[in-house]
Chains A and B, each alone.
Chain A
Amino acid sequence: MTSWHVVVAVVAGYLLVNLMVGLRAGIRSTDTVAGYVAGDRDFGTLVMYFVAGATMFSAFAFLGGPGWAFSRGGAAFYILAYGVLGVAPYFAIGPWAARLGRRHGYVTQASMLAHRFQNHWVAVIAGTISVIASVPYVALQMRGAGIVFEQVTEGHVPLPLGAAIAYGVVLIYVWRSGVLGVGWTNVFQGVFMVTLAWTLGLYLPHKLYGGIGPMFEQLEALRPEMLTAPGLDANGDPWTPGAYSSAVLVSAIGVWMWPHLFMKAFAAKDDATIRRTVVLYPTFQLFLFPLFLVGFAGILYGSVPDNADAIMPHIVLTSGLPAVVIGLFCAGALAASMSTGDALVHGAASISLEDVYSGIRDSQLSQHDRRTVIRWLAVAVGVLGYAIALTSGRSLVGLLLLAYGAVVQLAPPVYAAFLWRRTTASGVVAGLLVGVAVTGLLIVFPEWRPYDLHEGLIGLVANLATLVAISLATRPPDTTHISEWMRTSRTPQVG
């Protein structure tokens, strides 16, 4: 048996366990949309913790993070900065949304916004933005899975086949078990990826350079510009402080606006579960530290891969580790990719039906039929993501930053819903359209951005200004409805 056969055998075992966990999780789900999309609102702290951590940290963290540390140095620190900043507001907003979800039956954030603003177009537009942003993110996860397969099997399993195998497994357990499959596989995948990251991240600097300190001392002597922020841009030139800082802000504001993350508030068992998840979240975030160590180790490494995102598999493959360890690494990287990709596929499919389609046409489908439609939509999202994964030339983190520009536009309506009673539906709709339009325009004409700021941040400012101006210029909303909505959100759960 050659080494790549051993690797494939280990990965096959990992995928099989994943499939079993995912399929078994769905056994206790009810045959309702709430069961399929919100897990019958029964997620405990263990599942919520891993859903939050493993869903947020994906192929982009496991491969793109080391890739950035390797190719762009201190620019990678922006990834360290935004996770905790992004999760902090969820300590308050998460329980507020969960209480409203239990009371009004929401399963997505767009349906929450539509009810708050009494306008189905809010759901259609917010849902459409969510789906459009999710698809490239799914593609990113698939590319990550494909890259790992291709690297560790020495090209015997090419990127398209590797991505298809990993996401074939994902689609099977998402189809069968919905969010319960996503949740319980995230627990398994989360444990796997964190263990692998810490083990390799602490071991490789010792094996290659005699320790973390000696490694950074050598780096300081040879490439000191790689060890401070804002590091380098994609072309190897110094990155600007404006671009760096706005990347932190856009990502921090946008991260919990991702529907596949936000809507997990509707799956949590109670308020305390959400708060405990936020409390524990920084412990998950710290797993970026060993991943960055591997990336920095790559700067001094003798050979370089074709693609910066492949630096971690490249070092693992060429540093004389046993084939079983390489297989375990591959499984860890796949865990990172799949734990986010499954939630994205499931979330985008749910939103497509519950918010976009149902917002345009009054859906008379039964609960069972809606579950079936969501399943087929999950397949459609997977196929679309796969097509983009095979054709896009952007780096993993670059692809993610692009998607963030769109999804961050959901922040003004979400915060306004909870914090500003005077917000009107017209203000929200106009703000979303302006925010997305400005962001899109600046993606096409990046030279128009002042101080090299992230296009999503400029779009966000335009979005917020429009929301405020149009809300003040239009008729105030029904105070009775808003008072009841606000009261529900602020009333702690009893029992």
Chain B
Amino acid sequence: MKRIATWSGFGYFVAMTAALTFPGLQPFNTIRPLILGVPFVFAWYLFWILGSLVVFFWLHRVYGK
């Protein structure tokens, strides 16, 4: 389980790096649609931060056992 969690976590943060830098960011680098009033690209960054909270929590549960 630790191996799966570790590689999944690693994969998430590699994907996050690609999604928040160019050229990976380009398809999401738009103002519309506004998400809760916020430009889409701004919300895109917040989405990845919130996702990391879930990933970290899962890793902690796995490593805490």
- Is A282 an interface position by the 8 A CB rule? yes
Chain A 184-223, CB within 8 Å of chain B: the 1/0 string? 0000000000000000000000000001111111001000
CA gap between A242 and B57 in the complex, in Å: 32
Among candidates A227, A241, A242, residue contacting B42 with C-beta atoms closer than 8 Å: A227
CA gap between A220 and B37 in the complex, in Å: 12
Q: Tell me whether B60 and A279 are in contact (CB under 8 A).
A: yes
Q: Tell me whether A282 and B45 are in contact (CB under 8 A).
A: no
Q: Which A residues, 211 to 248, have Cβ-Cβ distances below 8 Å to chain B?
A: 211-217, 220, 224, 227-230, 241-242, 244-245, 248
In the assembled complex, the CB of B7 is this many whole angstroms from the nearest CB of chain A, namely 12
CB neighbours (8 Å) of B20 from chain A are 77, 81, 85, 248
Among candidates A80, A88, A286, residue contacting B13 with C-beta atoms closer than 8 Å: A88
Most chain B C-beta atoms within 10 Å of own C-beta, residue among A215, A242, A289: A289
CB neighbours (8 Å) of A91 from chain B are 9, 56, 59
- Chain A contributes a number of interface residues (CB within 8 A of B) equal to 41
Q: Tell me whether B64 and A224 are in contact (CB under 8 A).
A: no
- Is B8 an interface position by the 8 A CB rule? no
- Is A74 an interface position by the 8 A CB rule? yes
Do A282 and B49 form a contact, CB below 8 Å, given A85-B16, A216-B37, A252-B17?
Answer: yes
CB neighbours (8 Å) of A228 from chain B are 29-31, 39, 41
CA gap between A292 and B25 in the complex, in Å: 19
CB neighbours (8 Å) of B16 from chain A are 84-85
Q: Tell me whether A81 and B31 are in contact (CB under 8 A).
A: no
Do A80 and B46 form a contact, CB below 8 Å, given A216-B37, A252-B17?
Answer: yes
Q: Tell me whether B53 and A279 are in contact (CB under 8 A).
A: yes
CB neighbours (8 Å) of B21 from chain A are 81, 244-245, 248-249
User: Residue on A with the closest CB to B21?
Assistant: A245
Q: Tell me whether A241 and B41 are in contact (CB under 8 A).
A: no
Q: Which A residues, 53 to 109, have Cβ-Cβ distances below 8 Å to chain B?
A: 74, 77, 80-81, 83-85, 88, 91
Do A286 and B45 form a contact, CB below 8 Å, given A213-B34, A227-B31, A229-B29?
Answer: no
| B: contact size bracket | 20 to 34
CA gap between A248 and B24 in the complex, in Å: 13
Q: Tell me whether B50 and A282 are in contact (CB under 8 A).
A: yes
Q: Tell me whether A216 and B49 are in contact (CB under 8 A).
A: no
In the assembled complex, the CB of A366 is this many whole angstroms from the nearest CB of chain B, namely 40
Q: Tell me whether B64 and A292 are in contact (CB under 8 A).
A: no
User: Residue on B with the closest CB to A212?
Assistant: B37
CB neighbours (8 Å) of B13 from chain A are 85, 88
CB neighbours (8 Å) of A392 from chain B are none
Among candidates B41, B60, B63, residue contacting A77 with C-beta atoms closer than 8 Å: B41
In the assembled complex, the CB of B54 is this many whole angstroms from the nearest CB of chain A, namely 9
CA gap between A230 and B45 in the complex, in Å: 13
- Is A120 an interface position by the 8 A CB rule? no
Q: Tell me whether B37 and A81 are in contact (CB under 8 A).
A: no
User: Residue on A with the closest CB to B41?
Assistant: A228
Q: Tell me whether B46 and A286 are in contact (CB under 8 A).
A: yes
Among candidates B22, B36, B50, B52, residue contacting A230 with C-beta atoms closer than 8 Å: B22
CA gap between A85 and B12 in the complex, in Å: 10
Q: Tell me whether B45 and A77 are in contact (CB under 8 A).
A: yes
Q: Tell me whether A241 and B37 are in contact (CB under 8 A).
A: no
CB neighbours (8 Å) of B9 from chain A are 88, 91
In the assembled complex, the CB of B12 is this many whole angstroms from the nearest CB of chain A, namely 9
User: Residue on A with the closest CB to B6?
Assistant: A92
- Is A285 an interface position by the 8 A CB rule? yes
- Is A283 an interface position by the 8 A CB rule? yes
CA gap between A42 and B34 in the complex, in Å: 46
Chain A 294-316, CB within 8 Å of chain B: the 1/0 string? 00000000000000000000000
In the assembled complex, the CB of A225 is this many whole angstroms from the nearest CB of chain B, namely 10
User: Residue on B with the closest CB to A243?
Assistant: B22
Q: Tell me whether A212 and B41 are in contact (CB under 8 A).
A: no
Q: Tell me whether A245 and B49 are in contact (CB under 8 A).
A: no
CB neighbours (8 Å) of A74 from chain B are 29, 41
In the assembled complex, the CB of B35 is this many whole angstroms from the nearest CB of chain A, namely 10
In the assembled complex, the CB of B14 is this many whole angstroms from the nearest CB of chain A, namely 10
CA gap between A74 and B29 in the complex, in Å: 10
Q: Tell me whether B41 and A227 are in contact (CB under 8 A).
A: yes
- Is A176 an interface position by the 8 A CB rule? no
Q: Tell me whether B46 and A289 are in contact (CB under 8 A).
A: yes
CA gap between A212 and B29 in the complex, in Å: 19
Q: List 6 A-B contacts (CB under 8 A).
A: A81-B20, A84-B49, A213-B36, A214-B37, A242-B22, A279-B56
- Further pairs besides A84-B48, A216-B37, A275-B59: 13, Cβ < 8 Å: A77-B20, A80-B45, A80-B49, A85-B16, A212-B38, A213-B37, A216-B39, A228-B29, A228-B41, A229-B29, A244-B22, A276-B60, A286-B46
Q: Which B residues fall within an 8 A CB radius of A? A: 9, 13, 16-17, 20-23, 25, 29-31, 34, 36-39, 41-42, 45-46, 48-50, 52-53, 56-57, 59-60, 63-64
Q: Which A residues fall within an 8 A CB radius of B? A: 74, 77, 80-81, 83-85, 88, 91, 211-217, 220, 224, 227-230, 241-242, 244-245, 248-249, 252, 272, 275-276, 278-279, 281-283, 285-286, 289, 292
